[in-house]
Chains A and B, each alone.
Chain A
């Protein structure tokens, strides 16, 4: 069944893409799907949109998608909303703020539930990004849950991280807090039609001009008034790709290895359990059992 799905995916069947994304979201068949994809495609730009709840991420993503479609670029949007830690339920409402053009095959919107806790994006979004890229979308936009501070995960996923801030959302000390401005490549003063936008812009610019800061673009955008949107896209497009910027970092490799290992534990739970059972029955001592586990987890 998975083979058939993958074949349909390769033939650009949209329903197969949707189903495979569901499997990945549930953490099923990760290894097989990862293996079926061609090597990482570095040419498709991945843009992450982050910022606090209510700052207008979904709305801006929708507007940005329209700018891109007008340029003839196809867009896949992976929109994350929080999942309840108590029930596992989720209200995925990002679509409501995005345009629907059902006749347009160049726009794909997928709503994803992100587990509660520290994560700003859904699990396995890295794999989903590769899938929509291979499916042939020109630009990928990832909308985060809106955790605000500490969205470090998106930095590794995306080429360009766009941070949204809005007027009247705290004094300048708020922006000094660690983790917020640090992750951004572009800062958008959103809802720029509201009073206080200019003051906020000057605060942000002042912070970013302190010694030791990276070069970060600051733009005023209003989705309501449709201003600054094309400028935003040209700014994003001119940002250097993260993949070309980052020095090879051992941490990235180690994190990836940990992730692969975790996936294999999950995918091969049966064989792993079998080894554990044999150890419980004293058929193996702890060293032998560990060796056996390594054998099971190795390819």
Chain B
């Protein structure tokens, strides 16, 4: 570890989606890479995710979606983050996202989308390179 304070990242499962294997693997990988990972559990609402990001002063939000609801939930969360004054928080999306939806999610402000099979090191490197937008 260098002298940077650990990045705080909220990893969230939103909506009626019980597939948490992926997010748990990422949670462990980021923890072992020195991040502070806040995991609020399954079945979060967009409102509770935004509240968690705000109260925890997170640098990043990772949303895991395998339920096909990404085009409904992600834009809503992005909008609510803005409204809550959390424009500076970087957003990642992981899970099953069809190729055609990727540009649409990037267009609403998602920083990066990590699909199945992404090497864990790639996520870690990306976050380290981006660092904190909050405390820059």
- Contact surface of A with B, Cβ cutoff 8 Å: 14-15, 18-19, 21-22, 26, 83-84, 87-93, 95-97, 100, 102-103, 108-111, 113
Contacts and interface: CB of A to CB of B under 8 A. Distances in A.
B37 A96 contact: no
Given A102-B45, A110-B56, A90 B37 contact: yes
B54 A89 contact: no
B8 A103 contact: no
A111 B32 CA distance: 18
A18 B56 contact: yes
A57 to B, nearest CB: 16
Interface in B109-130: none
Contacts of A110: 55-56
A95 B52 contact: yes
A271 B136 CA distance: 24
Interface string B63-103: 00000000000000000000011100000000000000000
Given A89-B36, A91-B37, A102-B51, A21 B57 contact: yes
What is the interface residue range for chain B against chain A? 20 to 34
B41 interface: yes
Contacts of B85: 15
Nearest to B53: A18
Contacts of A102: 45, 47-48, 50-51
A190 to B, nearest CB: 20
B33 interface: yes
A87 B41 contact: no
A91 B31 CA distance: 6
Nearest to B48: A100
A93 B41 CA distance: 8
A88 B34 CA distance: 5
Contacts of B34: 84, 87-89
B89 to A, nearest CB: 11
Contact of A95 (B27, B31, B38): B38
Contacts of A100: 40, 44-45, 48, 51-52
